Amino acid sequence: MPFQIFVSYARNDDLPPLDGEGKGFVTTLLKHLEFHFTSFGEPTPVIWRDRRAIARSEQFDPIIEKGINDSHLLLVVLSNNWIHREFCRRELELFSQRWRSEGEGAVKQRIIVVGKNHIEPSARPPLLQGQEGYLYYAPDEDNPSRFREFFVRGKAREEFHDRTQELAEDIWRRACEHEQLPMPDSTGPSWTPISSSGRKIYLAKPAADMRPAYARLVDELRQRGYIVEPKPDAEMPSDASAKEFIRGALAGTELSIHLLGEKAGWTPEDCESIVPLQLKMASDAQSRRIIWAPRIIVEEHSQVAEGTARDPFAVLAKFDRKLDSDTVDGSEISAFAQFVIQHLDKNVPPVPDIEAIEPNARVYLYHRPEDTHYAVEIAKALAQRGIQPVFPAFEGDPAELAALHRQELAECDAVVLCWANAAEVWVKSQARELKNWRELGRDKRFSCRGLVAGPPPGQRKDLLVQLPPRNEIDVVVDLTGSETLVPEALDPLIRATQPPKDAA
């Protein structure tokens, strides 16, 4: 029997947008999963979902019951709609009965939660409490108590695609284990660790009640190339030298992250307990503090949320005073981890020096079809300097065009946006795509991210040229007032991509 996934979802979570453009969330999610399964190769998991738009009676549908009994995995699309739908809860109960002979822990391992929107842990059924799952939302950048969904009005944001690939890889791994097949290196998804970004983050050593969350954040940060300080395997001194240990670890870090449970942690000699000590020393070092004080504490091993809800600000007040620059969050660990990564991605420090591009390096000249003529002129000027221009493709299957675009961004040495007649929104969206090189599948930064702005001039174009997106564009060449492009006009870009003449 093939590895089958039963999808438990509320019909209202698959409604298409009112304007008729786009599909519902569930349909879009499953189509993308099926695409990934096909590209990974054998084994191909089978998705079972109920598509019938008929009213159900109180008698549980035997067709659905058979679908559950034949399934090895339950995919719960968790939402406000799902929580309030009796049949969804009955699907969860029936799946639990199907596999209860393996024990409750094994049943939970067969359930994957897809969080469509935020649900407080205490509101979930017991079997779903403590399940991390795959969240299709993240805390708002400016207000972490609010959430931004990855699928809006029938449109999938970039985060939607990243999360779906992670989910597909997880399910495919489980299918391989079920079929007792090895996961080959040459086919299927790649889980190659990312290289270090050189960016240092201070992750405060926690008290015992926050160790699981600490381990989770260590993994999240390291998987994305961040350097965690103090080293997770380094023991903090038990005497007064603990202060020097903390001070040294804080040096050179962008910000500090503090995990606050109910305990203050152990106390080094002649010092405060480690939790308030690190908070105060981070403040003294003028480190931007991100503080996690979860409203609900999830006990280690129990996977069940217990206790009454806490006020995150009141929790912080037990250990230290709140600073104006502090960010305080009380969400569950998955949402908080996403918020931290999102914050770090948004606040990428500027690269101090742009690396030199070697002769014959590949530079991706990305542009809109209406700007092809202008891009060709730029390509000629670059080719005279021994730089190999690479053009995008515009004709063919949309999925193949998108895949080729992503491949060029992952493999090229540098990228230049060529902007003449294209709309302002295109330039802004493409610049934003260049912000995080790791998300593009690259193993290192771009040597240069350039923008060449040609005629016609305009107020909006002038504004973007004078104030280019921070951390998205390295070099801007303003040619909006030049009707004819001469090679020398690109000297600012060429100098940025070639070493000085007196370089060793």
DSSP 443: S
Burial label, 422 (beta-carbon count in 10 A; 0-12, 13-18, 19+): middle
The answer to whether 40 touches 57, Cβ cutoff 8 Å, is no
How confident is the model over 364-411, as pLDDT tens digits? 999 999 999 999 999 998 888 888 999 999 998 888 898 899 999 999
Amino acid at residue number 164: T
Return the CA Rg of the chain: 26
Smallest CA-to-CA distance from 210 within 128, 288, 298, 134 is with: 298
**What whole-number distance in Å separates Cα of residue 201 and Cα of residue 341?**
11
Whole-model pTM: value is 0.48
- State the pLDDT at residue 154: 86
| Fold of the domain built from segment(s) 362-497 | Rossmann fold (3.40.50)
CATH 3.40.50.10140 intervals, the chain: 4-179
**What whole-number distance in Å separates Cα of residue 37 and Cα of residue 7?**
16
**What whole-number distance in Å separates Cα of residue 281 and Cα of residue 236?**
14
Angle at CA of residue 63, ends 62 and 69, nearest 5°: 85
| Cβ-based neighbours of 230, under 8 Å, separated by 6 or more | 202, 205, 236, 245, 246, 249
If one looks up domain 200-346 in CATH, what number appears?
A: 3.40.50.450
- State the pLDDT at residue 197: 60
* pLDDT per residue rounded down to tens, the chain (504 residues): 789 999 999 999 998 887 666 789 999 999 999 988 887 878 889 999 987 654 444 455 788 889 999 999 999 999 999 999 998 999 999 999 999 888 877 888 899 999 999 888 778 888 887 666 898 988 776 676 788 889 988 888 888 888 898 899 889 988 888 877 655 443 444 444 444 567 899 999 999 889 888 988 998 888 777 889 998 888 888 888 999 999 999 998 999 999 999 999 999 988 999 999 999 999 999 999 999 999 887 554 333 344 568 999 999 999 999 999 999 999 888 789 888 988 887 777 665 554 555 667 899 999 999 999 999 999 998 888 888 999 999 998 888 898 899 999 999 999 999 999 999 989 988 998 898 887 788 888 888 899 999 999 888 888 888 888 877 888 888 898 888 887 777 777 776 655 444 433
The answer to whether 357 touches 387, Cβ cutoff 8 Å, is yes
Cβ of 263: how many Cβ atoms within 10 Å? 14
* Helix (H/G/I), strand (E/B), else coil: 83: helix
The answer to whether 238 touches 306, Cβ cutoff 8 Å, is no
| Fold of the domain built from segment(s) 4-179 | Rossmann fold (3.40.50)
CATH 3.40.50.2300 intervals, the chain: 362-497
Alpha helices in 41-157, H assignment, sequence order: 62-69, 80-83, 86-99, 104-109
CATH 3.40.50.450 intervals, the chain: 200-346
